[in-house]
Amino acid sequence: MADLTEIEALKASLRGATRAAAADFPPQYLTEESEVADEFVAQPKPATRGQPGGPGALDFSYDVGADEAAIVSIRHPSGALTFHLPVQSTSRGGRHPNQMRFVVTVRSTDVETGRRGAVTSAIKVVVIKVGQAGADKIVSLVLPKLVAAFEKNTWAKRGLKEGWLKVAADTLSAGSLAAGRPSSAERSLLLVHGTFSNAAAAYRPLASSTFFERTKGIYGDRIYAFDHFSLSRTPEENVRMLLEGLPPQTTTFDVITHSRGGLVLRNLVERAGAFGPLGERFTLGHAVLELLEDRLVARPL
């Protein structure tokens, strides 16, 4: 296990790490309580019997001030960012720096095969330092802010917004769905995406299949999707926004969903009473929940 302060002093490496030329962490993802303290490129370690983390894991420590803490952000090969809390915090007392230990297993999805596995290539690691007293508590408060800022800015750059969308073959094929919410109480179809995704990306393969031809007799043009933040909002928050976007009537939906979208659906159905009169706006007909190696598999309803 390496210590980044030793790296800085001795110009050594961290499991094959090399110093990054300049920080490239998006500043808009930071809060007033946080700042980029360090950045390096690291090589995930191979599997070692008896050691934590396993293949694809980064295991290192970082020194911070007595009244500071740190969070780590990993830049994945896909370009995505994830945030990680320390697994251990050691106080050395007095004015001596505290030591934060991070053990992060880095996994990614192979674009060609759709399979997830441990990352073995070099990745970018950013250490975000958090000031003020009560570091452990502050880290737990700041991390959601960082994730929320990341998700908000990422969606804005891609022209995405939370809310109801009208799903048609042409717009889905183009990867750009138009806003639109149900108005009819007739049976409709709802698509709910999973984590790190949006409806256009998650369900785009349907546009190149016979899906719309086969479902036209059932739903007509009443096929919708609900785009929602899956990192910075809870499933309950997603459900409330979904229900608030529906007209004040009872509409029956068949639902296709996958991954975390299943949690959203369960909250819609199993906790409808918790949303008061809003819960009466949604009634479930049939549902298809599918997750296979992070790829959508559509089955006939």
Q: Tell me the per-residue pLDDT of 52-71, one tens digit each, with 9 for 90 and over.
A: 445 557 888 888 887 788 88
Q: Which residue has the tokens 């090399």?
A: 18
Domain check: are 169 and 90 in the same one? no
End-of-domain residue from the set 99, 126, 156: 156
Question: What range does the domain containing 24 cover?
Answer: 2-156
End-of-domain residue from the set 93, 125, 156: 156
Domain check: are 149 and 15 in the same one? yes
Domain check: are 223 and 115 in the same one? no
* pLDDT for res 49: 54
* Positive or negative: CA dihedral 111, 47, 79, 202: positive
Contact between 259 and 194 under an 8 Å Cβ cutoff? The reply is yes
Q: What is the distance between the alpha carbons of residues 57 and 60, in angstroms, rounded to a whole number?
A: 10
Domain check: are 144 and 168 in the same one? no
Q: Which residues of the chain have pLDDT under 50?
A: 1-22, 52-53, 109-117, 134, 291-301
Q: At what angle do helices 235-244 and 261-270 cross, to 10 degrees?
A: 70
Domain check: are 169 and 123 in the same one? no
Domain check: are 221 and 238 in the same one? yes
User: How many domains would you assign to the chain?
Assistant: 2
